[in-house]
Amino acid sequence: MANPTSAKINPTPAAKTTPASSMMAVLAPAVGWFIPGVGHLIQRRWIRGSLLLVSIATMFALGLAMQGHIYKANGGDILDILGFVGDLGAGGMYIATLAMNGGQGAIAFAIADYGTKFMIVSGLLNFIAVADAYHIAIGKKS
Amino acid sequence: MTLQLTHFSAALVFALIASIVFGITHRDTARDMIRYGLYCFAMFLGGILVAGWAMWLVRR
């Protein structure tokens, strides 16, 4: 006779987590946030990781080259806070830009505003890439 | 150095990069990733053109 609680007691093999996979579930998103695409690269998704790295880094670099503005955690206007959250997604690139005092110029033309949006969106795209790296690490995605 | 892109080329670069990331992150197999990436790019590009012509009509 089948025990209705057996499914709860004996998890399926796919649901089991090894120390290595749980370690990867922390490491991949963290590294992927700091350097876009590396969360995939350390899980041997070479092409996906490389494409994410090149795409997100290019978008951030183009935004900076267009004299886009970079937001700081000043806690002022709500739109500034949202901009900061978006920028923060770019991880190491955001930190390096702040350290080099980049992205601080006044926006003097329309394309510079595009640059600001490019940097925010590159951060938001990196958040999606981080979530994808996490899903690969926990086995939800191949 | 300041990079000066036109509005259209900036939107095109944006669409290309966003489509690549969407394709990789929203689908499981390589074939589906490429198809979804191309679909997103087409939708971005179509949206740009439709919005552009809509603004041209509104201005008239």
Q: What are phi and psi of A17, to 5 degrees?
A: -115, 130
Distance from CA of A44 to the nearest CA of B (A): 15
- Record the pTM: 0.86
Provide the pLDDT confidence category of residue A16 given band limits of 50, 70 and 90: low
Does A47 fall in a domain? yes
Does A1 fall in a domain? no
ipTM score of the complex? 0.91
Residue A61 domain boundaries:
20-137
Question: pLDDT 10s per residue in chain B (60 long)?
Answer: 688 889 899 999 999 999 999 999 999 999 999 999 999 999 999 999 999 999 999 998
CB contact under 8 A, A111 and B5: yes
Nearby residues of A86 by Cβ (< 8 Å), 6 or more positions away = A71, A119, A120, A121, A123, A124
Chain A interface test: which of B1, B4, B21, B36 (most A C-beta within 10 Å): B21
Whole-angstrom distance, CA of residue A50 vs CA of residue A33: 14
User: What total number of domains does chain A contain?
Assistant: 1
